[in-house]
Structure 1
Amino acid sequence: MKGYWIAQVDVTNPEQYGEYTARAPAVFAQYGGRLLARGGRAQALEGRSTPQRSVVIEFASYEQALACYHSPEYQHAAQHRQGAAIVEVIVVEGLGTVEGMV
Structure 2
Amino acid sequence: MIALNRSVHDRQKLEAYWKAAGPTFDGWGAKFLSVYTPLTPLELMGPLEGVVLIEFPDVAAAKGWYESPAYQQAKQHRDGAADTEFFIIDGGLVPLEERLPHIKRRQT
TM-score range (shorter-chain normalised) is: 0.7 to 0.9
- How large is the Cα RMSD of the aligned pairs? 1.4
Could you tell me how far 1:67 is from its partner in structure 2?
Answer: 0.6
Q: Give CA deviations for 1:19-65 in whole Å, capped at 9, x if unaligned.
A: 11001121123312121111121122123135111000110111100
- 2:4 paired residue number: 8
- 1:100 paired residue number: none
TM-score by length of 2: 0.78
Q: In the alignment, does 2:89 pair up with 1:85?
A: no
Q: 1:29 & 1:58 partners in 2: Cα distance? A: 13
Q: How does 1:25-64 map to 2 (within 5 A)?
A: 25-64=22-61
Who wins on radius of gyration, i.e. which is larger?
2
- 2:19 paired residue number: 22
The ranges of structure 1 where at least 4 consecutive aligned residues each deviate by more than 2 angstroms after the TM superposition are: none
| Unaligned runs of at least 5 residues, structure 2 | 94-108
Which structure carries more relative contact order (alpha carbon 8 Å, separation 6+)? 1
Q: 2:4 & 2:28 partners in 1: Cα distance? A: 21
Q: 1:45 & 1:85 partners in 2: Cα distance? A: 22
* Bigger shift: residues 72-81 or 35-44: 35-44
| Unaligned runs of at least 5 residues, structure 1 | 97-102
Q: 1:78 & 1:87 partners in 2: Cα distance? A: 11
More strand by share: 1
